[in-house]
A and B are shown apart, each in its own frame.
Chain A
């Protein structure tokens, strides 16, 4: 026998799906801005190659990118704040935040299990330790993007904030690094969702998941 269980609360589903396009508009407009000074390299190879800019139609759109970035930043910020406030008030944070340091060891075991290097999963509640760490880290990263973003947006009026991140140039580097972090998160997240299957994905849309009667 199976039953339906409410896995994802309505508000959290909305926050999640609103954040998804917002984050991509922020990354896209960020790329329009980054084009004007694309300095970051790996072993002196540009991190974003010129052909990619051209392929995506990015060149010469700095002004447009800044206007978009400073328009959508509000929605990104407000959605993020509402999500955090909601998880705190509803108590959902208890499921999302790792509660002890053993979470890191458990997360390692989860990763090994996912890579088929280990046969048993550590005991878990709604989210496993790897999920708890990722979903908490992504919120911390969001806060980091907002703060480093403010530091490079207003380096004179908020010079203390820029100083906190090691100065203007360093704050810009962190801001960029966090964006790469989101892209990595996105790839792993989508991969995991595909592996977890339809029942799991559907629960992020309708809220309910089919589970076994004794679960």
Chain B
């Protein structure tokens, strides 16, 4: 058997010499490694920014998103819960909710990239098969709450209102009627069976602070992507802007 822990036996003076040579070399290497580590950390945290994040981190975040996007599947579902688990979802973030709801009610626009935005009404969404879902809502801050939603699948909506015969673009952009808040999504996540255009919570029409009259509920993403009070839905092949990604948050934000 190989001796993995060899010994050095030498006369006293010789041994001291070997030891101090080893010590010098060891600590010099250690010092250089520590310097390299500091340099590496500086490089990772202070390099020029690419889309609001230092580029070495951006490269890895893009890789993480690619992995997550590849693994994302219509068969991987956020767990659903019994009615007894429904919590009291805290309204968080009121960007884009300043206007009176009745004003925005008639304001849903669909832009399929044909140059002719299609004005829609809440009833057009309500005409689609209704889905009720009790799922976990995960905020990027770290809290979560089980919530009960009712609405139409975004996939059903797309099949009904996206012009037939055209290839589905890569991204979906949604914004509030005043364009103060906006999100962009990869098409695979948007078409996930649990992604709803929701108009009900706990069996009643959405409250204004929860996004009345129509909001996005997308359990495969953090809460930041679950935009309230949708005014515009745009299908596009150019990666659209995203409110929180502009502050350096993960664009994919997938769960």
**A interface residue numbers (CB < 8 A to B):** 1-7, 9, 17, 21, 25, 33-34, 36-37, 39, 62-64, 66-68, 70-71, 74, 90-92, 126, 153-159, 162-163, 168-169, 172, 202, 205-208, 210, 213
Contact = CB atoms under 8 A, between A and B. Distances in A.
B19 A210 contact: yes
B22 A208 contact: yes
B71 A157 contact: yes
Contacts of A25: 41
B44 interface: yes
B6 A63 contact: no
A123 B94 CA distance: 66
B64 A70 contact: yes
Interface of B: 4-10, 12, 15, 18-19, 22-23, 25-27, 30, 33, 37, 41, 44-45, 53, 56-57, 60-61, 64, 68, 71-73, 76-79, 136, 138-144, 194, 219-220, 244, 247-250, 254-255
A159 B79 contact: yes
Nearest to B5: A6
Contacts of B139: 37
B57 A68 contact: yes
Main secondary structure on chain B at its contact with chain A? mixed
A6 B23 contact: no
A6 B6 contact: yes
A113 B67 CA distance: 50
Contact of A67 (B12, B68, B248): B248
A206 B26 contact: yes
Contacts of A172: 142
Q: Nearest 3 A-B pairs (CB), nearest first?
A: A206-B26, A37-B142, A36-B141
A33 B142 contact: yes
Contacts of B56: 71
Given A25-B41, A159-B76, 7 more contacts: A1-B12, A9-B4, A36-B140, A74-B60, A154-B255, A157-B71, A159-B78
B254 A157 contact: yes
Contacts of A210: 19
Most B CB within 10 A of own CB, among A36, A63, A158:
A63
A3 B8 contact: yes
A63 B26 contact: no
28 contacts: A2-B12, A3-B8, A3-B9, A4-B15, A6-B4, A17-B33, A36-B141, A37-B142, A39-B142, A62-B140, A62-B249, A63-B248, A63-B249, A66-B249, A67-B250, A70-B61, A70-B250, A71-B56, A71-B57, A155-B144, A156-B220, A157-B72, A157-B76, A157-B254, A157-B255, A159-B76, A169-B144, A208-B19
Contact of A64 (B9, B73, B142, B248): B248
Nearest to A158: B76
Contacts of A7: 5
B244 to A, nearest CB: 7
A37 B219 contact: no
A154 B254 contact: yes
Given A68-B57, A156-B76, A157-B73, A206 B247 contact: no
B15 to A, nearest CB: 7
Contacts of A70: 60-61, 64, 250
A209 B33 CA distance: 21
A65 to B, nearest CB: 10
A3 B7 contact: yes
Contacts of A155: 78, 136, 138, 144, 255
Contacts of A6: 4-7
Given A71-B60, A91-B4, A4 B140 contact: no
Given A157-B255, A205-B27, A206-B26, A39 B4 contact: no
